[in-house]
Structure formats: C-alpha cells, structure tokens
Structure 1
Amino acid sequence: MSVEPMRLLCYLLLSVSLASAYERSPVVVATDSPERSDKVGEGHWFLDFGEAAFGTIEITSPETRGGKVTLHMGEMLSADGKLERKPGGTVRYQKHELALRPRTPVRPALTWSPPGWMKEGFLSLPKGCPEVMPFRYIEIEGAPASFSPDQVRRVSWSVPFDEDASAFESSSPELDAVWKLCKYSIKATSFMGLYVDGDRERKPYEADVLINQLSHYCVDAHYDTARLSHEYLLEKPTWPTEWRLQSVILAWHDFLWSGDDRSLRKHYATLKGRAMIERRTKDGLFLGWNDGEPKDIIDWPANERDGYDMKPPVKTVVTAFHYRALVLLEKIATHLGKTADAREFAALAEQTKNAVNDQLWDEARGCYRDGLDPKSGQTSNHASAHANFFPLALGLVPEDRVGRVTQHVKQRGMACSVYGAQFLLDALYDAGEAGHALSLLTSRSQRSWLNMSEKLGSTMTLEAWDPALKPNLDWNHAWGAAPANIIARQLMGIEPIEPGFKRFRVRPQTASLERAKIKLPTPKGAITLQTQGSEAASWRATLSVPAGTSAEFQVPFSGDFIAEGEGKPVELPAKNGRAILLLEAGNWVIKARR
C-alpha cells in the first residue's frame, strides 16, 4: 500500500475510534421470521419480512453437509414485484455468496462505507453489533432441496422500544397509516444508539435530532437517546447555521419533556454560545454566512427552498432561529437562577422581534421577505413560504399579522422538504389552520408521507419526498417522521407546560375527523385522549390525567362547555372565546352543556 492510502486509512480509523468513544443508548437485538415466502423457481426463494429493519440474515440449514447459496438483500421492489437489484441513489441492496454449515447459523459478511466525500464524523456500530444494512426483502438462489423459509431469521438492532407505550387511531385510514409509518421509523432507525441521518452517512445532525427527539418522546417515554445525541453535537456541531442554533431548542425540549435539568446545568455555557450573539447586527437581526462554515441552509435539499433568496447576509429564517434560541435561553437562565442573563436574553429577543417586524415585513403583500443586506438596507423582493412559516412556528409573528401570514403560507402548499414540514405543520396548527394541516398530513401528492409508503413502498420515512426531488435519497431517514410528534402535539394537542409534565396542555384540533384516540407516554404515566364529533353540539372528549399532573384543557369550540370527572374543574381565562379548564388527576369527560 502506498503512503497516501495508508495515511488515509489511519485517519479513517482514528475518526471511527473517536466517534465510537461517545456515550450512547444501549441497543437490543430482535429476531423475526419472514411474513411471506414464495418459491419462484428451483432453489430460488423470495422472502418478505413485512417491514425494513437494520440487521442481517441468519440461515440455519438442516443439511449434514455444507453448500453455497447466493443471497440478495434490499429495501425496494421493482415494478414487476421482484427485489430491485439496481435501486439507485442510496437505497440499499447487497449480494453475497453464503457458505452454509451443517445445522449451524451463518450470516453474510455485510459491508458499509461512507460516501466518497465524507472523511470523518460517521459513527462506528455499537459494541457487539455486526455490520448491518436496512432491508425488507431477500432472495435466495441455489437453495438445497431441503430448504424451507423457517430456516431463515432476520436479526436486527435498535434501542429498547415499548410498542405499547403509545397508540393512535382515527376515522381517517390515511392518517392512521401515516402515524404507523412514522412511529415505526423512530424505532427502526435507532440502530446506532444515537440518532443518525440514515444509512448513507451514519452521522448525527442537529435538525435530524430535533425531529427525531420530539417524535421519539411521543411514541415512547424514552429520553436518553435524544439527550446523548444532543450532547454529542454540542461537542461536534455540524455545518448549517440554523442547526447550531437548534441546540438550544434541543436542550429545552429535553428539560421540558423529561423534567431532568442535569444536562442544562452541565452545558449552560455551551448553549449560551450557540445563540451566536456576536453575529447580531446593531438593530438585532442576525448576520448569517453565505460561504464557509457554518453556512445558512434554510431547507434541504436546496431545490426545496421555494426559491428562497440566499444572497442577503441577513435571512429571515436564520434570524427567526436566533430569536427562538434567545427566548429559550431566557427560560433556561431563569430556571437556573441566572437572573441577569435572563434579563439580557429577554431584551435581545425583544429587539430581534421588533427588528424583523419593522424591517422584513411587506405590508402590501401581508408577508415577510426573505432577507436584507444590512450595509445597503436593500430588502429582498422575494417572499418564500419559508420566510413566513418559520417565523410563525418560532413565535415571531404578532397576533394581528397571523391571519395574513397564514394565508400566504397556505397558498404555497407543501413548498418545503420533509424537514421543513415539521415547522410548516407547527405553524399551521399554531395559527388554528387545523383543516389545512390535516389535508397535508393525509395527502397523496408527490410531497406526502403516503407517497413514501403507498407509491414508493417504503416502511420507513425517506430523506426526501420523492427520488425526483432528491435522486440520492435514502429510505431510512427519521427526519421525515414529523407526523409522529405533530399528531400528538398539535392535532391531539398534548404538550408539557411545566417540566416533566407536572402540568400539560391539551388543545385538540381534529378538524373534520369524526373520532380520534391517542395514548401518549410521559414520565408520569400515559395520557389518553379520545375525541368524537366534528361539530360543537355533538363534540365530546374523554381524557385521563395521570397522578401527579394536571391538564389545561382548551376547548376547540366557542360556547358553554363543561368537564365532568373525579374532582371539580377550575375555569381559567378563556382564549378567543373558548373555555380553558384546569383538570386535576383522574378521568374526565368534556362536552357542551345541554
């Protein structure tokens, strides 16, 4: 081997050893049998495991003498229903020659390597885990006459996952299918013990972790994988500007949902730095980066930015994330007793909010522009969906502008990536546009979750909506699983108000759904909520409030509503003419007074 390749090999080995040194969640092994098996020819079998998983194949032959089979493994079917052997992009397929051993389990020698441009940052597999790949289907050629499908097992790895911790069902089969796809994606993509951006890079990114974090919380009361992934990224941040700002959001979610503030206390100084206050303009906007690292990203892939004007150094979206970091740093500082810091963060956040609304607002069009050049004062003429739904989701839009901004966003449709969809849907629900949000969740368009499962055939969420929009996409990317948390947090409306769910909000926005039922795990126990009816007169909800908690129930209709249950509800100040009821632990029925 020449000197340069040897040097590169040593560098790669060092990168892997460093990456493997970080603490991770333990992973557990599972085995399963094929759900379907077809003999398609002499010695030729096709097996389907029902869902893709990260693992390997184990074959135990009853033969007293050895033999050899050809094994094909992959994620995708071809148009004629066969295992696709040339799937394209980074959809996975591998072929292996496998020597059978008498009555002894054997596994193929799977392979993985990072993309050619990626020289560091990828993680090694957890200790004790052999090389794995994501696959659902296998074909076996050259099988002996005695072969039967019960000789095959798939062995897969993930963090421990309680399937019964959460549940959701509704009157919409489409919505139920989206929930199932996204819940399973959270489990199946956790094979590294940290959240990674799929099998292509096997590397954590803040934006992936943010969506994975909230979605994992909503399908299992499991907090350590998100916390460890977040803390890994505090030491090894990635390149996008906004994603570094998101570290503060990750830290706040960890505390608010789990009730554990140890990570906040340990990393407070680093979190302050993540707000990058030194990048502020004199009037409170955020000066981003068009070149180098970090670099402003807005959305990914780049063609999903709705034509965003990337030229101005001050971008509305980046400034919105800076604002949200300041708001949450005030909350964190207050909790930690750092009152001077809290006052400073509050003042900076207010200045930023005023600057955005003074300088980036287009009164004639009723929306925000993409950015401005602080030197010339020239404002971009472009007003993308992103420059409007991100400020909505991140709390920058004054109440009297919400309606106009929302109309601008609705006209653009799903004009963003699967990552942007998290914030678009948050913005729509926060603005009371539940019907439009539900239509996006249950759509079958190219930019939809049902496109991933029904048209393309994936059982995990994709990196992008469709190969036509990102040719090198992968089929195992949890940042596409936003509905797992959107359905729980926004459609059913359950979120913690006080850390660890000491008090939580319930604000159902089920729109046209005639019924919906959820079980949401929390550190205090499961919350269950069921709604029936889509009109005020016939609508009712049943809610279980775990011991040690209380719920602020926001009735979704105006009018006179009552709560009947194990105690006396307290009426809190109404919002927009709609009652808010404080409910203590127990079982409750909320309905219109007759």
Structure 2
Amino acid sequence: MHRSLLISFVLSSSIFALERSPVIEVTDKPLKVEDLGGGRFFVDFGKETFGNIRITPGNVPTGTKARVHLGEQLAAPRSIQRKPGPSIRYQTQELALSSNTAASPSLKWAPPDWMKEGWLELPKGAQQIMPFRYVELEGMPPSFKAEQIQRVSVQIPFDENAAAFSSSDTHLNAVWNLCKHSVKATSFLGLYVDGDRERKPYEADALINQLSHYCLDARYDTGRLTHEYLLEKPTWPTEWRLQSVILAWHDYLWSGDDTSLKKHYNELVGRAMTRQRTPEGLFRGWNKGDIRDIVDWPTVERDGYDMNPEVKTVVTAFHYRAVVLLAIIAEHLGKREDAARFKGMAEVTYKAVNESLWDEAKGCYMDGLDPATQDRSGHASSHANFFPLALGLVPADRVPKVAAFLKSRGMVCSVYGAQFLLEALFDAGESETALSMMTSDKMRSWRNMSEKVGATITMEAWDPSLKPNLDWNHAWATAPANIIPRKLMGIEPIEPGFKRFSVKPQTSRLKNAKVKLPTPKGPILLEVSGTTAADWKAKLVVPAGTVAEFTCPFAGQPVATGSANKTPSRVLRQDKNRSVIGLPPGTWELSVK
C-alpha cells in the first residue's frame, strides 16, 4: 500500500528553484515476528528502509506503555545492537499504546557535530524517519498480535516491475537485487543523498545513483533535480564539480529532454574550470583550500596514489571528459564557436596526457606531474589508469597494456571507484575479470556487505575496517545496478532518448542471462544464452520508435530473424572482426554461423 504525493518539496534559491521529487509512503508487513515471552517480541522486516513503525489499535488497558527498539544491526540472534558504530543507526523510544488510535515512536535525527550546513531537512510537520530493518518490543500487552505492527517507509514512486535481471549466476542476481533495493530505499528525501550520516547530496554519489536509477525505472526527475541542486550548492572535491557536466549529459542522453541543458549551459561551462588548464592542456588541481582533489574516498582506497603533484592524471581525465561533452552539448545547442573551442581543448588534453603521463616501459599512466618542472610522479596507481580508460583517454593500441595493469592490481579502490574500474574493464573487453569482481566474496565486494557484514542496503565503504564511521545506506555503492545492464548486457543509448541504442553483450562465462531495461520508448528486453559461437543465441525486443545496433560477441556470419518485421536487419560495419547489425523495432532472434 502507498499514499502518493505525501510530500512535494520546493525550496527558494537565488538562481533557480531547488526542488525535490515527490515522495510517497509505502506500508509493509514484517517478514518475521517472534514472541520471546514476557511481552517481548523480535520483528524482522527482511530488508532495511527509511521509515517508522506503526502499531495499529488493539485491546489494551488505558495508559499502557511499551518500549520500542529500532536498528540496522544485530548484536546476537533476535537482539538489536544497542551500541553500533558511529553511523550505524539505533534508537529506542517509549511508546504509549491505545485502543483507539495507531501509535508510532517519535524518532530523532540531527546532523553530525562537525557538519555546519548542507544537510536536507524533512519538510515542516513531517514525522522523522530512520533506516532500520529490526524492531524489538518490550512491555507489550497479552492481546498483541503480529498483524498489528507495520512499517511505514518513505521513498520516491518506484515501479518494481520496470526493470528485471536474472542469470545463471545466483551471486550476481543477489548483487543486482541488493543494488536495486538500495536505490529505492535511499530516495526518502526526494533527492539523491549520501545516506543517513549527512543527508546531503554530493556529485559523485549522484552520478552513480543517477545511472543506477535510470537502469531501474524510466524516471529522470530525481536525477535531474539533484544535479540542478548541486549546480547551486556544489561540494568540495575538484573532480566532483567536473562531474556536473557528466550528470547533465546523462540526463539528456537517457531522457531525451534538453530543457535542463538549455537552462544551465553557462553553469555547466563554469564547471569545466578551464582557467585551471596548463599551457600544455593538463589540469592544475588543488591540494588545499575550499576545493581539493579527491581521487578516491576514503583515502585508504587510493592504491597509494601520489597526491603531491598539482597535475593529477585522474583530475585531468575528468576535465577531459567535461570538455568533450561540452563540445557535444554546445553543438546541439547551436553554439558552434563554443563547440569548436571545447573540441580543440579536448584534443590538446588528449595529446598532453598521452605524451606526458604515459610510461612506455611500465605500460601504464603515472599519477601526475609537476607543471613547473614537468617532472612526472614515480608512482602508478590503478586509479591513474582505470579513470582515463573509462573516460575515453586511452588510445586503442594502449588499451591491452592498461587492462593488463588493472587486472594485476585487482579491486584496490572504493565502492565509488568501482563504478569506473568496472566500466574500464568492460570497455577493454575484460568481461570475465569484471564479472568476477561483481561476484567476489572478498572484503572489497558487494557480497561482503550483505553476506558477512549483514547490510541489506549498500554501504558507504566495502567494510568497517576501511572506514570505521561508514553508514549502511549509501547508494553510491550501487554500480552493478547500472554496470550489469549497460556493460555486461551491453545496452546503452547512442542518440538521446534511446532513438538509437547499442547492444554489445559481454556475458562471459554466464550460461544464460536476461534483462529488462526501461527507456522513454518502452522496455528493451534481451535474453542471451551460450558461451561459445556454436551455442550462442540471443533474443532482443526493440521498442517502437527506436533502432538497435547489435554487436555480435563472436566472429562469424550473423543470423538475425525477426518476427513480423517488414524491414530486414543489415550489417552496418565490422568492429574488431565482430559484425554490428542494425535492427528496427520488433522481436529478433540472433545467432552466429
């Protein structure tokens, strides 16, 4: 059950309205209620959400008071952890029960002591909520029944059936489901926030949350509004400000709506920070001040990155991507001079990175250089290589070397960095390595979060040992929710609004996999089976108003059979000895001879 349009947020601003998506109330029943005796009950809702509990009226004596405990973590079976880590949530409240009205505890929340501004408040009059999975009840009357307790969660409207994924790997399926639930459950403020520790939007959080949300529901308002909020209230990391251009591009490419691009073009140009370009076309960042280079977070996840040089390969890679996209955006908006200027900047930066930061002997990019002396850092991190690869800076002839370097390093980045590491590996054709990372149960894995730590929403970091003050409700760790449909199954828009899209499956060792991806034109359905050219088959549903470009995963003669299609398929081109086939709307079955 849900109550729609519970809250609609609008805040005033000097530049433009800072709005939020409407949110709704969703009521669910417990997965399990155990009677522990003596008026004590243990309640498990199965998964964590943001909300509160409601105990419906029952036959209780006047003045009956119970004690309620809500929490994210267990200390023992049927016992909530009363003293969890700094950002893991637990609250206890006394609750007056009634025979006439429903009762809910009065929850509390306050920003951390060190945080002076930036968090989002719930609207005036809204009941406070918290993230929790478990409930303990004490002092309940003998008449209490399990069906009297409900959880009332707050979230944006979310179509559970808009997207789907399943495969022959049960671990991969579980990871996708974990990430899907995380996107839905953390939407309680109508904007993408960093979790319950700060309740504040950040660009990097929004970037991953945006792509994951788009792959789960064809709803683009929350991503757009979060992006526009951050144009007004940017955060401190250098790269994350640069990511505003990427956020804007994703919004347009996936939705097909260029309203926000037109409205905020000047702000986007400012986010590229072209004044920080060196004469060679590299980007001069900051090691101190109100804006600072971040590379990755927490700091222990930087793979030893040399943070001393003012020019850092990672920061320059994000600047490069920003000016590449600004050239495309400017061209679309008819700003030809701007388009030419940004295109020229991108070409200069591409040349500078590949001449100044590449080490041929080591076969990888180094962390940075001193712009005054041109002395290059002596350290090469995974980050200095997977970010450039994911952001389009690596020439084709160097991709195998960079991929080999990344494979040798493994998962040595944060949950945020994992988004770009996985993209880089898939883009390099290293699908088996990327798939193994998504299904791993090592400390830096999604299975570690769920199977070993016990979280049901993705966490701020891989493990408490890496960030003692992590929270258990951070959607910036949901990379698989978008990597699986976009890279493993290979479905991505080529033209805005999915007028044209690519399908390049890299299902590796999976015996079978199928995905449903929502788009503005309707869902794209893809089923793939087989691991060799001899037994490989695919079935693709191309929605009306779109055209697919399907890249066969094996060399050979492609066979495409359409049902009720008057327009035949045709081979458009060859891509590394793989046929790329154009497929008009309809249902297609594909194989390779």
Q: Which residue of 1 aligns with 2:30?
A: 34
- Inter-CA distance 141–554: structure 2 relative to 1 (3 Å threshold): same
Q: 1:400 to 1:116 in 2, by over 3 A?
A: same
Deviation at 1:293, TM superposition (A): 1.6
Identify which range, 86-95 or 203-212, moves more after superposition. 86-95
Taking the aligned partners of 1:533 and 1:37, their CA distance within structure 2 comes to: 44
Question: Quick one: which of 298, 305, 312 aligns to 1:301?
Answer: 298
> Displacement of 1:77 after TM fit?
1.4
The AA in structure 2 aligned to 1:452 is M
Verify the 8 A CA contact 2:285 2:311 in the aligned structure 1.
yes
367, 370, 373: which is aligned to 1:370? Answer: 367
Matches of residues 391-430 of structure 1 in structure 2 within 5 Å? 391-430=388-427
Q: Does 1:573 align with 2:576?
A: no
Tell me the equivalent position of 2:478: 481
- Counterparts of residues 66-105 of structure 1 (less than 5 Å): 66-105=63-102
Q: 1:454 to 1:313 in 2, by over 3 A?
A: same
Letter in 1 for 2:578: R
Asked if 1:251 corresponds to 2:248, the answer is yes
Work out whether 1:497 is the aligned partner of 2:494. yes
Q: Secondary structure at the match of 1:285?
A: coil
- Matches for 1:232-243 after TM superposition, within 5 Å: 232-243=229-240
Q: 1:66 deviation in Å?
A: 3.0
Find the counterpart in structure 1 of residue 149 from structure 2.
152
Q: Does 1:438 align with 2:415?
A: no
Question: Is residue 2:46 matched to residue 1:50?
Answer: yes
Letter in 2 for 1:331: I
Shift of 1:127: 5.9
Alignment gaps of 5+ in structure 2: 1-10
**Amino acid aligned to 1:332:** I
- What is residue 527 of structure 1 aligned with on the other side? 524
Q: Give % identity.
A: 63
Whole-angstrom distance in 1 between the partners of 2:357 and 2:329: 28
The residue type paired with residue 29 of structure 2 is: S
Distance 2:535 2:83 in 1: 54
Q: Secondary structure at the match of 1:45?
A: strand
TM-score, normalized by length of structure 1? 0.96
Alpha-carbon displacement from aligned partner over 1:170-219 (angstroms, at most 9, x marks no partner): 00000000000000100000000000000010000000000000000000
One-letter code aligned to 2:531: S
Q: How does 1:326-341 map to 2 (within 5 A)?
A: 326-341=323-338
Question: Cα distance, 1:126 vs. partner?
Answer: 4.2
Matched to 2:281, the amino acid is G
Q: Deviations over 1:282-336 (max 9, x none)?
A: 0100000000021000000000000000000000000000000010001101110
Quote how far apart the aligned CAs of 1:149 are.
Answer: 1.5
Instruction: State the number of aligned residues.
Output: 578
Deviation at 1:22, TM superposition (A): 2.3
Does 2:458 match 1:447?
no
Counterpart check, 1:459 vs 2:494: no
Judged with a 3 Å threshold, the aligned counterparts in structure 2 of structure 1 residues 51 and 352 are, in CA distance, closer, same or farther, namely same
Mean Cα deviation higher: 55-64 or 368-377: 55-64
Mapped partners of 1:34, 1:556: distance in 2: 45
Cα distance in 2 for partners of 1:578, 1:66 equals 75
* Displacement of 1:18: 7.3
State the alpha-carbon separation in 1 of the partners of residues 372 and 500 from structure 2: 47
For residues 54 and 575 of structure 2, what CA distance do their matches in structure 1 show?
Answer: 59
Tell me whether 139-148 or 235-244 shows the greater mean CA deviation.
Answer: 139-148
Q: 1:204, 1:233 within 8 Å by CA — same for their partners in 2?
A: yes
SS at match of 2:585: strand
Shift of 1:456: 1.1
- Give me the TM-score of the superposition, normalised by structure 2: 0.96
Deviation at 1:378, TM superposition (A): 1.3
- Aligned partners of 1:64 and 1:103 also within 8 Å: no
Residue 315 of structure 1 aligns with an amino acid whose one-letter code is K
1:151 deviates by 1.0
Displacement of 1:359: 0.5
Whole-Å Cα distance in 2 between the matches of residues 366 and 206 of structure 1? 32
Matched, 1:216 2:176: no
Q: Aligned letter for 1:148? A: K
Distance 2:506 2:476 in 1: 23
Tell me the distance in 1 between the aligned counterparts of 2:20 and 2:56: 32
* Shift, 1:102, TM fit: 2.0
3-state SS of 2:568 partner: coil
Instruction: Show the 5 A alignment for 1:60-71.
Output: 60-62=56-58, 63-71=60-68
Contact 1:126 1:192 survives alignment (8 Å): no
Which AA in structure 2 matches 1:340?
Answer: E
Give secondary structure in 2 for the equivalent of 1:164. Answer: coil
* Structure 1 residue 360 corresponds to structure 2 residue 357: yes
Q: Decide which moves more: 225-234 or 79-88.
A: 79-88
Deviation, 1:41, is 2.4
| SS of match in other structure, 1:180 | helix
Between the aligned partners of 1:407 and 1:328, the Cα distance in structure 2 is 28
CA contact (8 A) 2:42 2:78 kept: no
Distance, in Å, in 2 between the alignment partners of 1:564 and 1:128 is 59
Consecutive unaligned residues of structure 1, counting only runs of 5 or more, are 1-15
Partner of 1:8: none
Contact 1:371–1:379 under 8 Å retained in 2:
yes
Return the letter of the residue paired with 1:37: V
Listed one character per residue, the Cα deviations across residues 213-259 of structure 1 (whole Å, up to 9, x for unaligned) are 00000000010000000000001000000000000000000000000
8 Å contact kept, 1:17–1:124: no
Instruction: From 167, 170, 177, give the equivalent of 1:170.
Output: 167
1:9 is aligned to none
Q: CA deviation at 1:100?
A: 1.1
1:111 corresponds to which residue?
A: 108
- Structure 1 residues 284-295: aligned runs within 5 Å: 284-295=281-292
Aligned twin of 2:5: none
In the alignment, which residue of structure 2 is the partner of 1:225? 222
How far residue 89 of structure 1 moved from its aligned partner, in angstroms, is 2.5
1:263 aligns with 2:260: yes
Q: Distance in 2 between matches of 1:129 and 1:449?
A: 33
Shift of 1:101: 1.9
**In structure 2, how many angstroms separate the alpha carbons of the residues matched to 1:253 and 1:178?**
24
Q: Please report how far the alpha carbon of residue 81 of structure 1 lies from its aligned counterpart in structure 2 after TM superposition.
A: 4.8
Q: Verify the 8 A CA contact 2:53 2:150 in the aligned structure 1.
A: yes
Task: Answer whether contact 1:122 1:202 (CA < 8 A) is retained.
Answer: yes
Report what 1:22 is aligned to.
18
> What is the one-letter code of the residue matched to 1:554?
T
2:277 matches 1:280: yes
d(CA) in 2 for partners of 1:478 and 1:212?
A: 6
Provide the residue aligned with 1:12 in structure 2.
none
CA–CA distance in 2 between the matches of 1:128 and 1:477? 26
CA distance in 2, matches of 1:126, 1:242: 31
Alpha-carbon RMSD: 1.3
Contact 2:18 2:228 in 1 (8 A): no
Structure 2: how far apart are the matches of 1:72 and 1:382? 50
Inter-partner Cα distance in structure 2 for 1:79 and 1:41: 17
TM-superposed deviation, 1:103: 2.6
Q: Is 1:59 aligned to 2:64, yes or no?
A: no
Contact 1:126 1:193 in 2 (8 A): no
Structure 2 residue 561 is the aligned partner of structure 1 residue 559? no
Q: Which amino acid aligns with 2:579?
A: A
Query: Which residue pairs with 1:349 in the alignment?
Result: 346
Change (3 A) 1:270 1:311: same
Q: Give deviations 1:80-133, integer Å, cap 9, x for gaps.
A: 452111111201100101111223111111000101110100001146631000
Give 1:380's aligned residue. Answer: 377
Please say if residues 26 and 154 of structure 2, whose CA atoms lie closer than 8 Å, have aligned partners that are also in contact.
yes
Verify the 8 A CA contact 1:205 1:233 in the aligned structure 2.
yes
What is the letter of the counterpart of residue 561 of structure 1?
Answer: P
SS of residue matched to 1:497: strand
